[in-house]
Structure 1
Amino acid sequence: MSNPLAGPSQTSGSGFPPTPVASQGDLKRRADGDAEAPRRLKHPRPPLPPPHVLQALVPDSPAFTDLLKLEQKLDWTLLRKKAEINDALGRPTRVKRTIRVFVSNTAHDQAWQKGASLADDKKEGAASSTVLQAEDGDVTMGEGSTSPSVPATQPKKDELEGVDVNTGKGIAGWVMKIEGRLLDSGNVRLDKTKRKFSTFLKSAVVEFDNREAPTFPEGNIVEWHAQNLTAPLDGFEILRRGDQNVNCRIILHLAHHPDRFKLLSPLAELISMNEGTRAEVVGAIWKLVKVVGAQDKEDGTIVRPVGGLEKLFAKGQDGIPFHQLPEIASHYLTHPDPITIPYTVQVDKDFNFHPKCFDIPIEVEDPLKSKMASLVQSFEGKEGKEIVQLEDKVGELAYFARDLKQKRDFLESFAASPQAFIQNWLAAQARDLDQMLGYQIGTSGLNGGSVREEDLRRSDLFNLPWVDEAITVHESSRMEMERRSKASTAGVGAGAGAGAGAGQGTR
């Protein structure tokens, strides 16, 4: 077979003509399909064609290649930042802040308040020395009178007016207020998050003195505990009845995330820590184990009672597995000490404010951490899905352009030289068929390139079913050739005899 001058491109490794399964309209509809349609592919999409193939497909592919390089750098940067953010989210990031607590109280319906209001209402009557008659016959004289006045402990008629025993209106009492707020740190990023006072507390307890039943049925203890369903509060108000000053203690239990614990002796002395989280305590114990060499030499999972650790172990215990250390450490952990604020409720004035405010240092989670978490979620969110869909669309368009180019090259080669193209195409088909069947691939030889030389050296090759068919085809071809040769010889002889007879007749 002569070497063809033209033919289909064989760079793809296959000589078959690019016969698309779907039409161009179907391919374009698939390329421009709905971006929100769910992907049905079980395997990831194939990679984009190599740059040299894209350059042959699209003249402006260098710009696209530069864009791909820029995208690779951007993807690498985003993945690195994502890994850094995930690492930062795994570590507790705490910021030290300060809560300022204010304590005050107001008094209402006290005897001196009612007396002041009555004095204002009867100022004109007192100036004219008007005599006021009481229900029990006692009298109180106005200005300049020498008669005895009504005792201070005896209620007056005007004091009993407007008193409702059922609702408590008009009865002497007071309102205690406990308020708190988070101080500004001067950092705009930290101060953007405003939290209510109650969100920093686990519970609040107020203990009053000298308010026992039955005189005061409310009791002498007021408690508040944090609940998920209650709305955050800026402060608390306690309404009580009474006309005497009351001493009290305000006990605030702070809420820590994660929970913090107070260390008891002897664990506190061993690791030099008075308060910390469970993870910090276990980490400090592990450092102590490494420093004192408490790990067993043969089995590293066993901890021996050396270097002070014998104070934590049970008496006579020779060693424990390492995974039991957190359980032992929990025996020496308790709730941290609460914040105690002393205060005296004063009812001898309308408003009483504690002369001191109380600053409580706390550690809160960095608000930037929530933003970092939302940023990580955005990678897998709507934006990430949109990027993946766009990349799928670019890949489909690239392969759509490659299919169109192969079809165009196929038709152009056929139009330029049909005979050479068909010969080249048949040779490519034969070569591909040999490759699929596992036969020898190469230049045609005596065996037609379909039988390997190694198979001819084996006798069992000629016992296969194909031998009978091959002999039949071969003998049929030979007999046909002999018949044609005999027919042609007989025709030549008959023609010669006829020519000789014609010549004799002429003479």
Structure 2
Amino acid sequence: MAMNAPMQPNYPRGYPQAAPQRSPATPRRGPAGPAGPVPPQMMPMHHPQQGMQQGMPNPQYMPAPAPGAPPPQQPRPMPPVNEAMLRRSRKPTDKTIPEGVEEVVIGDGVEQYKNLRELEKRLDAAMVRKRLDIQDSISRTVKRYRTLRIWISNTVEDQPWQKAREQNGHMSIPGSGRYKVKIEGRLLDDDSDPTVADEDSEVEDEEVEGEKKDGDDGQTEEKKKSKPRRPLPRFSHFFKSITIDFDKTNSARPEDLNSITWSKPQLPPNQNTLPPNADFDSLSFTRASQENLNITISLVRDETPERYKLSKELADVLDVTEDTRSGVVMGIWDYIRAMGLQGNQEKREVRCDEKLKAIFGREQMFFPQIPEALSAHMSPLDPIKLPYTIRVDQDFHNNPTPTIYDIRVAYDDPLRQKMIALTSNPQHIAALRQISVLDDQLALIIQAITHSKARHSFFTAMSKDPATFIRRWLNSQRRDLETILGEATRGGGEDGSGPEFRRGGDRSVWTTPVAREAVRYMLAKPEAAAAAAGVTR
């Protein structure tokens, strides 16, 4: 061996050699260099603070890319292992009885279990369908309209015309007159509204179906009185805010003319009941004044879904002046279909007629663009304004009469509240959790049955021909060991091309429960899950 031959150091994996630089994408050609001891002066130093992982190249030892070659890709970090997902993946989920169990089990338990599984599937389908129907009914419930009567009145105290009298041991101070305004609202029992259900209809139907007996009138009256009435929404439920504005006067103090505003608090998504301070039928306020004042009470509606005021062009098409956003879109769609304005080839294309041109300002448009284009023709409803004069004079208070207003308000169907309570029933959630626990226990039992059936099949096959069975079993174990060690040949081992492993279809060994369970256990390991995640990326 010539002494002047260059010595090729055997660098560890991941480090470049002293040979000329080459692109990382270029495969290595030719036989590997001679293996030999590495000189100490050429060994790369490993520092414990560099945090090198086995098989990961150190950035400071990476070779420079060749001219024109793409930059080397940085290794992707391994995703963190989710312990909860691993636990769920290890849990068995199969609840199907393996085939052939009924042949080795005494009785008809397997047949009854299969019948129960079919019944469970039909019951689950019916429950899901009914819940979807309820959800659809909740979103499509038609609003009812009831009459809300509002009474506005005021009282006075310590006015100049009132006689001075002793109150609590001291005399009233002349000229310190005050007033107190009360605003009260309640829903009326509107018998003329056909959408309002009669709460006493059940009692009346019983009287019509059967003959009236002597003395039944008193019992019927007692039933009507004892029957609990359905709670109605209170005054504060119908409005987002209530504002009281005062007209300016020269004699009143500026602080007594400031506006008064009440706003409804925002509720969490899963809460439907208002707090006690926002659930009321009446509100009142008091201030100082010795002369009559004009006020305006502004009520901003609180409706779900919210209604909007439509522009004149949009109102001419829909023939309504107020509607919800979904109602407007559905009305436009009905108008397009009624007038035959859809495109011949592209059904989403709309040919605008004169009325639609006035709304959208174009000859044609696609229907998905219509909801956004309609926003310019929809504005919030104007607040309800109720004028009232605060009277402090003696003539009015000799015989005071309140000011009464009747307004129509949207009222949710009582059945809708019951359906919402049904869908959000906490007992249903608890029942689902209990069913999930029972399903987990059932899956464990089915897994134990599957393993018992596999052992039964194992020993049954061995008892029929022990020699042949043991030979085939040892060959199978040897093939598995060769596959794990990476020593298996292309055919899969000595007997890897046997008929049982070459055969596919539903009756092959690759579709047996044992094979599926083995694959599930292999994927449940953290290393296999991380490798699968890297492959999917």
TM-score (norm 2): 0.55
Partner residue in 2 for 1:83 = 132
Q: Deviation of residue 436 (structure 1)?
A: 6.2
C-alpha distance 48-332 of structure 1, shift in aligned 2 (>3 A) = closer
Q: Does 1:439 align with 2:498?
A: yes
Q: Map 1:15-414 to 2 at 5 A.
A: 39-41=87-89, 45-50=93-98, 53-54=101-102, 56-57=104-105, 59=107, 61=109, 62-92=111-141, 94-115=143-164, 117=165, 162-163=172-173, 171-182=176-187, 195-209=233-247, 211-213=248-250, 215-218=252-255, 220=257, 222-228=259-265, 231-234=277-280, 235-297=282-344, 300-314=347-361, 317-347=362-392, 348=394, 349=397, 352-354=400-402, 356=404, 358-364=406-412, 366-375=416-425, 381-404=429-452, 407=455
Partner residue in 2 for 1:147 = none
TM-score (norm 1): 0.57
CA contact 1:212–1:219 (8 Å) conserved in 2: no
C-alpha distance 396-436 of structure 1, shift in aligned 2 (>3 A) = farther
Q: Deviation of residue 237 (structure 1)?
A: 1.4
Moved more, 178-187 or 199-208: 178-187
CA contact 1:249–1:340 (8 Å) conserved in 2: yes
Q: Deviation of residue 70 (structure 1)?
A: 3.1
Q: Deviations over 1:420-444 (max 9, x none)?
A: 54245347648978996123469xx
Q: Deviation of residue 254 (structure 1)?
A: 1.2
| CA distance, structure 1, for counterparts of residue 460 and residue 369 of structure 2 | 79
Equivalenced residue count is 353
* Local SS of the residue matching 2:186: strand
The aligned amino acid for 2:497 is G
* Local SS of the residue matching 1:40: helix
CA contact 2:149–2:406 (8 Å) conserved in 1: yes
* Local SS of the residue matching 2:116: helix
CA contact 1:99–1:182 (8 Å) conserved in 2: yes
Q: Deviations over 1:281-316 (max 9, x none)?
A: 1221222233333345565554444142232244xx
Q: Deviation of residue 275 (structure 1)?
A: 0.6
Partner residue in 2 for 1:4 = none
* Local SS of the residue matching 2:259: strand
Moved more, 87-96 or 106-115: 87-96
| CA distance, structure 2, for counterparts of residue 71 and residue 161 of structure 1 | 82
CA contact 1:205–1:221 (8 Å) conserved in 2: no
CA contact 1:213–1:219 (8 Å) conserved in 2: no
CA contact 2:309–2:323 (8 Å) conserved in 1: yes
The aligned amino acid for 1:41 is S
C-alpha distance 108-186 of structure 1, shift in aligned 2 (>3 A) = farther
Moved more, 285-294 or 252-261: 285-294
Q: Deviation of residue 276 (structure 1)?
A: 0.4
| CA distance, structure 2, for counterparts of residue 329 and residue 286 of structure 1 | 12
CA contact 2:138–2:420 (8 Å) conserved in 1: no
| CA distance, structure 2, for counterparts of residue 242 and residue 258 of structure 1 | 42
The aligned amino acid for 1:77 is A
Q: Deviations over 1:359-415 (max 9, x none)?
A: 53323363124224315x876x4432331231231232233245346646766898x
CA contact 1:197–1:232 (8 Å) conserved in 2: no
Moved more, 238-247 or 103-112: 238-247
| CA distance, structure 2, for counterparts of residue 250 and residue 102 of structure 1 | 12
Partner residue in 2 for 1:422 = 466
The aligned amino acid for 1:368 is K
| CA distance, structure 1, for counterparts of residue 255 and residue 379 of structure 2 | 31
Structure having the higher Rg: 1
* Local SS of the residue matching 1:389: helix
C-alpha distance 405-249 of structure 1, shift in aligned 2 (>3 A) = closer
Q: Which 5+ residue runs of structure 2 have no aligned equivalent?
A: 1-83, 190-195, 200-226, 267-274, 480-492, 502-537
CA contact 1:304–1:318 (8 Å) conserved in 2: yes
Partner residue in 2 for 1:135 = none
| CA distance, structure 1, for counterparts of residue 260 and residue 412 of structure 2 | 24
CA contact 2:92–2:447 (8 Å) conserved in 1: no
Q: Deviation of residue 353 (structure 1)?
A: 4.2
CA contact 1:196–1:232 (8 Å) conserved in 2: no
C-alpha distance 219-267 of structure 1, shift in aligned 2 (>3 A) = farther
| CA distance, structure 1, for counterparts of residue 151 and residue 380 of structure 2 | 25
CA contact 1:102–1:357 (8 Å) conserved in 2: yes
* Local SS of the residue matching 1:438: coil
Q: Which 5+ residue runs of structure 1 have no aligned equivalent?
A: 1-35, 121-157, 165-169, 443-507
The aligned amino acid for 2:152 is V
C-alpha distance 258-441 of structure 1, shift in aligned 2 (>3 A) = closer
CA contact 1:97–1:182 (8 Å) conserved in 2: yes
* Local SS of the residue matching 2:137: helix
* Local SS of the residue matching 1:205: strand
The aligned amino acid for 2:324 is T
Moved more, 381-390 or 54-63: 54-63
C-alpha distance 96-335 of structure 1, shift in aligned 2 (>3 A) = same
Q: Deviation of residue 255 (structure 1)?
A: 1.3
CA contact 2:241–2:299 (8 Å) conserved in 1: yes
| CA distance, structure 1, for counterparts of residue 95 and residue 251 of structure 2 | 85
The aligned amino acid for 1:179 is E
* Local SS of the residue matching 2:89: coil
| CA distance, structure 2, for counterparts of residue 359 and residue 318 of structure 1 | 42
